[in-house]
A and B are shown apart, each in its own frame.
Chain A
Amino acid sequence: DIQMTQSPSTLSASVGDRVTITCRASQSIRSWLAWYQQKPGKAPKLLIYEASNLESGVPSRFSGSGSGTEFTLTLSSLQPDDFATYYCQQYNSDWTFGQGTKVEIK
């Protein structure tokens, strides 16, 4: 099974900050990686697919990069609506989620 490891687990930041979340796969997943945002009590929302493709309707301040085993999600300028938990997910072999990164207000 492919394991996904996100870091950090929690991130404290301020509005306007640039934020980067890292996701590592236990083996190569090529570019088969998605990122999701989840707010308390809500379903996850797709942000990025195939490592770097922005889902329709998602603000351009979100971006993804990477391939193989190392991936990043970047928020160029954190907005109040962005405080949430973010998950990476590999879909190269079955589906595995990272443990999540909670972005908190500093």
Chain B
Amino acid sequence: EVQLLESGGGLVQPGGSLRLACAASGFAFSTYAMSWVRQAPGKGLEWVSSISGGGHFTNYSGSVKGRFTVSRDNTKNTLYLQINSLRAEDTAVYYCAKGRGGPYYLDYWGQGTLVTVSS
């Protein structure tokens, strides 16, 4: 059974940093691309970042490029999102999701971790 479990969210001041993690199990982690998607309170879904299975290729949305860094440790079956220079508009539930296909869509999602940016 595929499981994705996010962690690392919390309350952070504007300008601060956090590192989110997503522990994966139930599939061959290193062979699948992974993505981060966020959802601000009461709003829709917004793609944030993606990374290839081997970790060599990454993509970012324009709203986070230069501030967020996606990475993965295939020895630990874990996906990461380093988020820096946080702004109030980054407040959201952050989901990790597994990619499938080529080009890929998102077939399994974690339960999400809430990041709140406030002073």
Q: How far is the CA of A50 from the CA of B90 in the complex (A)?
A: 30
Do the beta carbons of B105 and A43 come within 8 Å of each other?
Answer: no
- Interface membership of A87, Cβ < 8 A: yes
Q: How far is the CA of A99 from the CA of B47 in the complex (A)?
A: 12
Interface-located stretch among B11-19, B23-31, B70-78, B107-115 = B107-115
Q: Which residues of B contact A32 (CB under 8 A)?
A: 103, 105
- Interface membership of B118, Cβ < 8 A: no
Given B35, B44, B101, B111, which contacts A95 in the complex, CB threshold below 8 Å? B35
Do the beta carbons of A46 and B106 come within 8 Å of each other?
Answer: yes
Q: Which residues of B contact A45 (CB under 8 A)?
A: 109
Do the beta carbons of B59 and A94 come within 8 Å of each other?
Answer: yes
DSSP class of B's interface residues: helix, strand, loop or mixed? strand
- Interface membership of B104, Cβ < 8 A: yes
Q: How far is the CA of A87 from the CA of B109 in the complex (A)?
A: 14
DSSP class of A's interface residues: helix, strand, loop or mixed? loop
A91-B109 contact, Cβ under 8 Å, with A44-B45, A97-B45, A97-B46: no
Do the beta carbons of A100 and B109 come within 8 Å of each other?
Answer: no
Nearest opposing residue in chain B for A100, CB measure: B44
Q: How far is the CA of A96 from the CA of B47 in the complex (A)?
A: 6
Q: Which residues from 47 to 102 on chain B have a C-beta closer than 8 Å to any C-beta of chain A?
A: 47, 50, 59, 61-62, 95, 100-101
A-B contact pairs, 29 of them (CB 8 A): A1-B62, A32-B103, A38-B45, A42-B111, A43-B95, A43-B110, A44-B45, A44-B106, A45-B109, A46-B105, A46-B106, A49-B100, A49-B101, A49-B105, A49-B107, A50-B101, A89-B45, A89-B105, A91-B103, A91-B104, A91-B105, A94-B47, A95-B35, A95-B47, A95-B106, A97-B45, A97-B46, A98-B44, A100-B45
6 nearest A-B pairs in the assembled complex, by CB-CB distance: A43-B109, A95-B47, A34-B105, A97-B45, A100-B44, A49-B105
- Which residues of B pack against A, CB within 8 Å? 35, 37, 44-47, 50, 59, 61-62, 95, 100-101, 103-112
